[in-house]
Structure 1
Amino acid sequence: MLLAVDVGNTNVVFALFGMDGQDKPVIRARWRIATDPRRTGDEYAVWLVQLLSIEGFVREDVTQVIISTVVPRALHNLQVLSSKYFGVEALVAGQGIAEWGMPIDVDEPGSLGADRAVNAIAAHAKYPGDLIVVDFGTATTFDVVDFSGAYKGGIIAPGINLSLDALVNNTAKLPRIAIEEPRSNSVIGRNTQDQMLIGVFWGYVAMMEGLIARLRAEIGRPAKVIATGGLAILFDQHVRIFDAVDTDLTLEGLALLAGRKNAS
């Protein structure tokens, strides 16, 4: 089985893939832990082996590991986890036999984040035509993938939680609130908390609508919008921005990269 590891700025997601009846990778289990570059391979193992056991798996079930990371300092300890506790050399997304395998048509191809590249690969494999991939993470990213699968560039915006943290941390009297669905569609708040939620939620919607409209106009061809990340579902419940919500896009992209090695 494949263990896919997606290291983000906030969380590390582990997903265990098996095969379905048509030899397609499917997620059998997943776990999440806060990102900490200081966490050792041994610490990961204590946590992860117990979770495998709870789900009915053992270490020996893991025969392949692939890692995608936007936190370079976290990579070494995860490679130690793979070699010491699973007995396999981890593939690193974007390196060696796990290279992207797609044109990266930007000024600085080496600066493209691993998560964005993996999203682009998975989105092109699953959805035809020109694409705009929106990923709700610590930052919110908009990535353009053309009909041939080439990565053409995109946009990086502050994540919604970063925006909220900046608002709360830099004001004396505003309370900390959770991102949640608005109580109504009204944009006239009657109290401080509602006004903050309106500003963050509907302000973010307006930002997304405006940027997506500009991207589509610049692409010049019909483009589907694919959303991923935890907050995609929340926004999709209230606005008609996305053509598809695919919360497992990054993990599925890692499985595709790992599958290339198996096919070679």
Structure 2
Amino acid sequence: MLLALDIGNTNIVAAIYHGDHLVTQWRMATDRRKTKDEYRILVIQALENSGLKKDAIEHVAISSVVPPLNPMLLSMFQEYWGIRPLIVRPGTKTGLNIKLDDSRSVGPDRIVNAVAAYHHYGGPVIIVDLGTATTFCAVNRHGDYLGGVICPGLGISTEALVAQTAKLPRIEICQPQRALGQTTEESMQSGVYFGYVGMVDGLISRFKGELGEEGQQAQVVITGGFGELIGKGCRQVDHIHPSLTLDGLRLLYERNRGER
């Protein structure tokens, strides 16, 4: 079985795959202060909660935007499982053509998402990932990765609003019934939710325009922690795919397996 780890700035999303079947998945907080023993215990506990044993893990694939964790996790899997993980980095075979001036600067999470989206939906495809940061990427019909947009994430934008104002409270991020809020909390929820829905739809429209004739045929897929919440309110989103990044890790492991 393959353990796929998507290491983000806020959460680590993990999944177990048996072939192309997603067996189970879980989340844990990203914490640079934790030791490899603490992470090992968390992984084993999550496996046991899913009815799996420690030695169920035979392969590991990692996408990480938190580089300080990478050496520790490599050491953990090598020491306790005898596995050398695949870490997505420049040089990893993706099957895409990265059409950027500096292809090494693209975050591994964006590449992994693009690989999965192109595999599942073909091209042209536009990918939106609503995590700690909100990212947009585009891949054309030929499998060329064309770049995209990086915006502040929904969660950190809301926290910044609360932190930089004297009287605004923390709120639950949810879908309001209407845009016209009757209380401060409702007004904030409306601004956060409908503001991000509008941003997503607006940027997708711009992407489609810049892609020209091809853009009118582009499929749009959304993922990430807030993907389902925002995606169901967007007119431009065709597919909500919560496991997109994890699926991409599985695909990349298979494509690079011969070199492991």
TM class by smaller structure: over 0.9
Q: Distance in 1 between matches of 2:90 and 2:36?
A: 21
> Structure 1 residues 38, 101: CA separation in 2 closer, same or farther (over 3 Å shift)?
farther
Q: How far has the Cα of 1:95 moved from its partner?
A: 5.1
1:15 and 2:12 aligned: no
Task: Please tell me whether the aligned partners of residues 8 and 66 of structure 2 are also in contact (alpha carbons under 8 angstroms).
Answer: yes
Q: Distance in 2 between matches of 1:241 and 1:64?
A: 37
Q: Distance in 2 between matches of 1:68 and 1:176?
A: 31
Task: Please tell me whether the aligned partners of residues 7 and 68 of structure 1 are also in contact (alpha carbons under 8 angstroms).
Answer: yes
Q: Distance in 2 between matches of 1:148 and 1:174?
A: 48
Task: Please tell me whether the aligned partners of residues 94 and 100 of structure 1 are also in contact (alpha carbons under 8 angstroms).
Answer: no
Q: Distance in 2 between matches of 1:189 and 1:262?
A: 53
1:259 and 2:254 aligned: yes
Q: Distance in 1 between matches of 2:7 and 2:29?
A: 9
Q: How far has the Cα of 1:219 moved from its partner?
A: 0.4
Match of 1:157 among 148, 151, 160: 151
Task: Please tell me whether the aligned partners of residues 201 and 234 of structure 2 are also in contact (alpha carbons under 8 angstroms).
Answer: no
> Structure 1 residues 188, 50: CA separation in 2 closer, same or farther (over 3 Å shift)?
closer
State the Cα deviation string for residues 58-110 of structure 1 (Å, max 9, x = none).
Answer: 122211111110010010111122111211111111355x4334211112211
Match of 1:134 among 128, 133, 136: 128
Q: Which residue of 2 aligns with 1:112?
A: 106
Q: How far has the Cα of 1:238 moved from its partner?
A: 2.8
State the Cα deviation string for residues 123-147 of structure 1 (Å, max 9, x = none).
Answer: 1111122111000010100001111
Task: Please tell me whether the aligned partners of residues 93 and 256 of structure 2 are also in contact (alpha carbons under 8 angstroms).
Answer: no
State the Cα deviation string for residues 200-249 of structure 1 (Å, max 9, x = none).
Answer: 11111111121111110000122111101122211233332211011101
Q: How far has the Cα of 1:263 moved from its partner?
A: 5.9
Q: Distance in 1 between matches of 2:18 and 2:79?
A: 22
Q: Which residue of 2 aligns with 1:237?
A: 232
Q: Distance in 2 between matches of 1:261 and 1:100?
A: 8
Structure 1 alignment gaps of length 5 or more? 20-24
Structure 1 runs of 4+ with >4 Å offset: none
The residue type paired with residue 16 of structure 2 is L
Q: Distance in 1 between matches of 2:190 and 2:52?
A: 44
1:227 and 2:222 aligned: yes
Q: Which residue of 2 aligns with 1:176?
A: 170
Task: Please tell me whether the aligned partners of residues 2 and 17 of structure 1 are also in contact (alpha carbons under 8 angstroms).
Answer: yes
* Count of aligned positions: 256
What is the aligned-residue RMSD (CA, Å)?
1.5
Q: Distance in 2 between matches of 1:137 and 1:197?
A: 18
Q: Which residue of 2 aligns with 1:22?
A: none
Structure 2 alignment gaps of length 5 or more? none
- Written as runs of structure 1 = structure 2, the 5 A alignment for 1:1-264 is 1-19=1-19, 25-94=20-89, 98-182=92-176, 184-185=177-178, 187-220=179-212, 221=214, 222=216, 223-262=218-257
